[in-house]
Amino acid sequence: MKQKNIYLVGNPNCGKTTLFNQLTGLNQKTGNFSGVTVEKKEGFVSLPNLELKITDLPGTYGLGGIAEDKKIAYEILLKRKEDEVVIYVLDALNLERGLQFLLQVIDMGVPTLVVLTMKDVLEKKRIQFDLNALKQTLGLEIVLVNAKSGEGIPELKNLLSNENCFRKQKRLWKWEPKEESLFTKLKKQLNIDTNEAEFFLSQALKYLNGDTHLQDNRYLNQFPNSTKQILSEELQSTHYQFGYQEEMIHRSIFIKKIISETILSPISKNGGLGERLDSIFLHPILGFLCFFLLMGILFQSLFTFAEIPMDMIEVGITQLQGYTTMYLPDGPFRSLLVEGILGGVGSVVVFVPQIALLFLFIGILEESGYLARASFLMDRLMGKFGLSGKSFIPLLSSAACAVPAILGTRTIENKSDRLTTIMVSPLIMCSARYPVYILIVGTVFSYPPIFGILNVQGFVLFSMFFLGMIVSFAFALLFRKTVFKENASYFVMELPRYNIPSFKSLFFTVYGKVKSFLATAGQIILYISVLLWFLSHFPAEYKDNVWKTSPIETSYIGRVGKVMEPTIAPLGFDWKIGISILTSFAAREVMVSTLAVLYGSEEEGEESESLRETLRSDRRSDGTLVWTPLTGVSLLLFFAFASQCMSTLAVTKKETGSLLWPTVQFLYMTTLAITSSLLVYQLGKILGFV
Partner 1 sequence: MTLLDLREGDSAVIQSINMDQLPKQMLTELLELGFFPGAEIRLKTKSKYLGKLICSLGGTTIGLRMKDGEAILLKTK
Amino acid at 2: K
Q: Among 127, 190, 267, 518, which residue sits at the site for partner 1 (rule: CB under 8 A)? A: 267
Q: Does 116 bind partner 1 (CB under 8 A)?
A: no
- Go through 527-541 and write b for each residue having 16 or more CB atoms within 10 A of its CB, e for each that does not: ebbbebbbbbbeeee
Q: Among 495, 564, 646, 664, which residue sits at the site for partner 1 (rule: CB under 8 A)? A: 495
Instruction: Give the contact letters, 471-490, x = binds to partner 1 (CB under 8 A), - = no.
Output: ----------------xx-x
Q: Does 137 bind partner 1 (CB under 8 A)?
A: no
- Compute the least distance from the CB of residue 418 to partner 1, in Å: 11
Our measurement of the distance from residue 11's CA atom to the centroid of its chain's CA atoms, rounded to an integer in Å, reads 19
Q: Among 69, 413, 574, 655, which residue sits at the site for partner 1 (rule: CB under 8 A)? A: 413
> Which residues are CB-neighbours of 123 under 8 A, at least 6 positions away?
none
Q: Does 379 bind partner 1 (CB under 8 A)?
A: yes
| Cβ-based nearer residue to partner 1, 64 or 570 | 64
Cis-peptide, bond into residue 12, ω within 30° of zero: no
Q: Among 81, 124, 269, 543, which residue sits at the site for partner 1 (rule: CB under 8 A)? A: 269
Our measurement of the distance from residue 257's CA atom to the centroid of its chain's CA atoms, rounded to an integer in Å, reads 39
> Which residues are CB-neighbours of 75 under 8 A, at least 6 positions away?
none
Q: Does 212 bind partner 1 (CB under 8 A)?
A: yes
- Compute the least distance from the CB of residue 67 to partner 1, in Å: 9
| Cβ-based nearer residue to partner 1, 412 or 673 | 412
DSSP secondary structure letters along 208-272: HTT-TT---TTTGGGS-HHHHHHHHHHHHHS-----HHHHHHHHHHHHHHHHHHHB-SPPP-S-H
Contact stretch for partner 1 (CB under 8 A) within 278-286, 312-320, 326-334, 353-361: 278-286
Q: Does 670 bind partner 1 (CB under 8 A)?
A: no
Our measurement of the distance from residue 513's CA atom to the centroid of its chain's CA atoms, rounded to an integer in Å, reads 9
d(CA 166, CA 143): 12
Inter-residue contact 10 to 61 (CB < 8 Å): no
Q: Does 209 bind partner 1 (CB under 8 A)?
A: no
Q: Does 307 bind partner 1 (CB under 8 A)?
A: no
Q: Among 44, 459, 491, 689, which residue sits at the site for partner 1 (rule: CB under 8 A)? A: 491
Inter-residue contact 56 to 65 (CB < 8 Å): no
Q: Does 127 bind partner 1 (CB under 8 A)?
A: no
| Cβ-based nearer residue to partner 1, 185 or 256 | 256
Q: Does 292 bind partner 1 (CB under 8 A)?
A: no
What backbone phi and psi angles, to 5 degrees, belong to 319?
A: -65, -45
Our measurement of the distance from residue 34's CA atom to the centroid of its chain's CA atoms, rounded to an integer in Å, reads 17
What backbone phi and psi angles, to 5 degrees, belong to 652?
A: -65, -40
- Compute the least distance from the CB of residue 480 to partner 1, in Å: 14
Q: Does 57 bind partner 1 (CB under 8 A)?
A: no
For 662, the 3-state DSSP assignment is helix
How many residues bind partner 1 (CB under 8 A)? The answer is 44
Q: Among 25, 65, 331, 605, which residue sits at the site for partner 1 (rule: CB under 8 A)? A: 65
Strands 112-117 and 85-91, bridge-based pairing: parallel
d(CA 389, CA 282): 13
Q: Does 286 bind partner 1 (CB under 8 A)?
A: no
Q: Does 282 bind partner 1 (CB under 8 A)?
A: yes
What backbone phi and psi angles, to 5 degrees, belong to 508?
A: -65, -35
Q: Does 653 bind partner 1 (CB under 8 A)?
A: no
d(CA 129, CA 115): 14
d(CA 631, CA 247): 65
Q: Among 359, 376, 473, 585, which residue sits at the site for partner 1 (rule: CB under 8 A)? A: 376
Binding positions for partner 1, 235-264, rule CB under 8 A: 244-245, 248-249, 252
Residues at the interface with partner 1 (CB under 8 A): 61-62, 64-66, 93-97, 100, 212-213, 244-245, 248-249, 252, 267, 269, 274-275, 278-279, 282, 284, 287, 372, 376-377, 379-380, 383, 413-414, 487-488, 490-496
